[in-house]
């Protein structure tokens, strides 16, 4: 049942952030998403490891989205906290994605090839949906180039995120040593 609610809350957070960005009203969407993230970490079996994973995913997301923005591929609505970084509402989305790795997407853990394929397809679809809902625009580059680059980012991201999770030292593994 927790996986179901994780999926539902991820979707709710995604729509809240996207629609908030489209209407320049992201504060409550970000606060709501971060509140869920705090609850998610608190309820985790291994809160420190879960927080570590979330921060790694967040760092990856800020770096990749900021580069896509810097190179003119994407133009996000809302420049807070800096015009040189992706906006805070995108950070909330990356944290929401990270919250699914050990929950609603846990079935994908031992399937890296499927992770690559699903990342390569679902990542660009999510960005395109956000753009169509008004949260961002394609930059000066072509839409096809943008979708291709985002596809590569997410094809790398999904197996990388599960690798980061796998390489964390779990308490159950320490007991067995």
Coil, strand, or helix at residue 75? strand
Of 167 and 141, the one with more pLDDT: 167
| DSSP bridge partners of 74 | 138
Domain boundaries, the chain: 2-170
pLDDT tens digits along 72-116 = 999 998 777 788 899 999 999 999 999 999 999 999 999 999 999
- Which has the minimum average pLDDT: 55-59, 91-95, 135-139? 135-139
Backbone angles phi, psi at 122, to 5 degrees: -75, -30
Cβ pair 72, 137 in contact under 8 A = no
Q: Which residue has the tokens 């990749």?
A: 64
Question: Is residue 117 scored above 50 in pLDDT?
Answer: yes
Q: What is the pTM of this model?
A: 0.92
Banded model confidence at residue 172, pLDDT cuts 50, 70, 90: low
């Amino acid at each position: 049942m927790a996986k179901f609610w994780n999926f539902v809350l991820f979707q709710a957070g995604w729509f809240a952030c996207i629609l908030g960005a489209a209407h320049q009203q992201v504060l409550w969407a970000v606060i709501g998403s971060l509140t869920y993230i705090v609850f998610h970490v608190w309820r985790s079996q291994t809160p420190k490891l879960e927080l570590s994973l979330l921060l790694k995913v967040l760092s990856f997301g800020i770096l990749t989205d900021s580069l896509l923005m810097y190179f003119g591929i994407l133009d996000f609505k809302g420049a807070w906290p800096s015009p040189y970084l992706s906006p805070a509402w995108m950070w909330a989305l990356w944290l929401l994605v990270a919250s699914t790795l050990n929950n609603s997407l846990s079935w994908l853990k031992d399937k890296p090839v499927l992770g690559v394929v699903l990342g390569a397809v679902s990542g660009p679809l999510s960005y395109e949906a956000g753009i169509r809902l008004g949260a961002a625009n394609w930059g000066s580059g072509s839409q096809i180039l943008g979708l291709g680059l985002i596809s590569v980012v997410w094809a790398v991201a999904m197996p990388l995120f599960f690798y980061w999770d796998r390489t964390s030292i779990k308490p159950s593994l320490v007991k067995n040593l």
